[in-house]
Structure 1
Amino acid sequence: MKLPISLKIFSITTALLALMVVVTWLSVLNFRQLNNQVRALSDYYLPLQQQVASVEILIRDQMVHMERVMAGMEVARPDPEFLAKESNAFDMRGINADQIIDSSLRMLGEAEAEKGIALDRVTLAILGRELPLIQTTRQHFHATFRQFQIEAQEGTPRSEKIVRDELLREKDAIDVEIQKTTDILNKLTQDTASQAKAEEARATTLNWIVTGIATALGLIFAAFVTRSLVDPVKRLLGGTRAVEAGDLDVEILVRTHDELATLATSFNHMVGGLREKERIRATFGQYVDPRIVKSLLENRIPTDRGERQVMTVFFSDLQDFTRLCEGLTPDAAVRFLNHYFSLMSEVIRGQQGIVDKYIGDSVMAFWGPPFTDPADHARLGCIAALEQLARMEAFRAWLPEMFGTRQGLPEVNVRMGIASGEVTVGNIGSETSRGYTVIGDIVNLASRLEQANKFYGTRILVSEGTRNLAGETLAFREIDSLRVAGKLEPVRVYELLGYSAELGESDRQRVQAYEAGLARYRAQDWDSAEAAFRECLMNAPGDRPSQVMLERVAAFRLAPPEAGWDGVWVALSK
């Protein structure tokens, strides 16, 4: 029996529609499951993992401050100010750790009340028991440390040893609890990510099946179904290819109300979930420089060994920040530092530098291969220092907004030290926590140069190696020859003044007069040295390095240096 063509077309179309309904329904289920896994990761598992990692870092910091206090109490003449500072830092890290644990527990409470996402509630319940254990163990550790300080101050060696032993045992107990919780979270996120990947694969396969069926039937019945079938399929295929190419901003326009429209909507939901995952990855990039992560993934830098490289290392520190911080609330201090670090880090990364770490109010950064051309790292480091100095004006302009007044604002200045030379660079740390960083004498020298600004009254001091590598586009003034703490060989120290093309005539005369005075000072020609330094002060009355050298000349007139003196000044303080 022959069927009319219209009936055949109707039958095939009906069968196609029925097939599309079934496949679309399965696709929606798969995408819904995928979205469930992604939401579980982004809303709960990854934030919990991040918060536990933050707690671990804060507790590690507490242990570091504890070790410093214990070491400081064992010296012949303990420094009360240093001990008080480290003890206060120990307390602050503990408070912050407890706050984060409380936040994590609230998040677990929210997860328990969440009905729209399928969560691993058994594991979350285990975490709900483990987190208070970490908090309790940390508080016992905190209290034992305070008991140790009391015993040490009262001078009871036997009791002090008992408390010290208990302190070390509780330190190990904290490590065990944190590791247990970290392992639970790692397994939870890995299992959820694997499930999400499997759901994504099933959803993608289903999409291709739908595309293939729709395309084949569209070729057979092109005259009847092309307009309603092929165009949506092409849009869906284009969106799939865009996602495969890494474009997560793609969105398929839904113009109909059929099953393909439902599929397109589900696809858009999937891409939205992928965008959320990418946003989370970008957030982690705020804690580790994305270039380091990319280089590690591409095996452009070794993960288990170090290298010797010529690089430029930078340190900066806010002047009198400790005194300033005493007048700030914790929230204000954090906002103050976050705004300052944002401005400074933006400049460093804009000049191809790597922000290594923040130490209190200090910034450590470095430039060098493979992130910077070997011929440019010293120049870029110096330019970054000049730009940071310029950004301080914008930072000071922000202070009235932060303090809510324009009266009695603190004076905020920054000191910077830059050194260039051979360092050891690599991934340094434990099996579970590593950081890509640099170590060596050059790192120590850069830190000491930053400190040397204090007694020279300068803002940016660089080593001779940096001055030689930076080129002639930048202007420098030789300040002195120093033998810094921790280094036997003397180094010539230069002040970074700015760009050579922008240096005025009075500044050039100041530099010439000072360097002439420095040469006569090294030759022990005190009269000529004094005359040159006074000439420098005539060009720049507030030039602090000239005043420092005049004070030395006066001192050497009264007590001349020993025979064979090489003109090197020994920096006794760090």
Structure 2
Amino acid sequence: MLRTVRAKFLGVAGFFVVCLTIGTGFSVIQSLGINGDLEAVSRYVTPVKDALSDVRARQLEQISLLDRYMRVLESDGAEASLLSGIEIEISAKQTQIGQAFRKAFTSAALGRAQASTHFDQGVLLNLDVRMREFADISSQFNIGVEKLLDSVRGGDILTAQRQENIVRGIHRNIVLNLRSEILRLERYVAETVEAVSEREDFLIQAEFIMMLVAGIVGLGLAYYLGVGVARTVADTTKAINSVQSGKLDTNLDFKGQGDFSALANAFNRMTRELRVRFRMRERFGKYVDPKVLGNLLAQETALETSQKRVMTVSVVNLTGFDWLAEHTEPEQLVDFLNDYLTAMTEPISGHSGIIDNFIGDRVMGFWGPPFCNEKSHALHACKAALEQVARFNALKTKYADLIGDHGLDIRIGIATGEVVVGSIGTDKSRAYTVVGDCVNYAHRLEKANRIYGTRILASNETADLASSDVEMRDLDHVVLLGTEQVVYLYEVLAESGHLSEERREWRKNYETAMGFYRDGTFDQAFPLFEKVLEFNDADFAAQLMMNRMERLSRREQDREWNGTWVVRDPYERRDVES
């Protein structure tokens, strides 16, 4: 017995498919038979009949010409001028008769080759042989006519008259045989058309009966299943409404072991868990982070209010995750994600931050009072980002076989600014979160890493608060499309004092080159950017600046250069908004 809803509906669908297949097969077989009959008639039998009718007509015309020839001979003698013209017409009729016979024989022969089931029995049996026999008799007639004409030309009128009687006898034999054959073929055509009509009527009736039976049985099965499903849905809806109204002791009881029984068991387990967790959910289910929970319990007003604060927001995104998800087994992917999210969230919590939310592989956190000092939230965010990079590098080593060389990496954007922070949401579902332009800015900085080839980008406000304790690189200044706002981009490199002498020299060369770049002295900036690339040939930021200087040299900016790149079109916008 089919127990699952899917199996039941698939069974109904399968029944219709079987019925459709049987009906289609029956129709195809019948149609092929009908088409075969009609093809035999239209392509082979009818052309033979028409050719024979043409032969018969030409024969009658030829015997008529022969009568006329003999009358002229009797009245005007063998020297009459009209005789030569009549001889030419008789010869032309003989040619036409030969062509008609060849057409009939060809159609009959093709019919035997292509439609042997029809031509090997009944009226059409040996049709091509009979066509050959008719042609042979017609040849005898033509020979007799030639003998008659030769006698006339030789002046032997008596012999010509005797030959005329022989020719007329052959002609009567030909005409009678042709008439008999034509009538036989006409009867075959009529009988075939009648049989085809009967088969078509039978096919229509059979298809209608099969469709009617399939419809009745299918509708009956569908009604039976539909009633069962509708009853189950109604009972489940009623139970859900009871739970929604607060009756957590509601249970479902569907007999059997199918999907509905599994639904009832799942529903009953849910209500049991709801009864156990009801109080906990009411008090604590809205918040996850322990620091948030402690703060809300200590400040009752924070449960209902929000406020503006200057805070730092961090956004972490995993690049190449789509490829990994498509090419990794679910169990391995879950293990990797668990380790990845742990590596991304622990630095946030460990540096006094709040984990705001997860969007797929993207993690967002924020820092600010009352969870950390008012002056140190930017520094905490930068240190957390550096630890996230270090942890991800270790994670890449652990999962080297899984990741391979497919460019899996993280991008981090850090922005500091005024946000609205507090408990935001509905009466039944709330979250302690931050909203504002600063959040959007952090997302844009995270995306901008892709253009500059960096891993951590921070805003100017973040750099002002944290640069004394964190090594940064002054990366770029740009003006966004449609605005006059200058955006300052800084790359977070390491904690203060943790940058090697070589990398300090590399940063110095880059920032010195950026000074010449902003002053418009490109001939002095080019060599320094080349030194930057010699130290790190993968420094996309240096290459980007060199590309810009080439464009500026071609005067692609339509204003005087003031050291800030102006985004003029969507292509350029990728520099900062990717």
Please, what TM-score do these two structures have when normalized by structure 1?
0.50
Radius of gyration: which is bigger?
2
Please, what TM-score do these two structures have when normalized by structure 2?
0.50
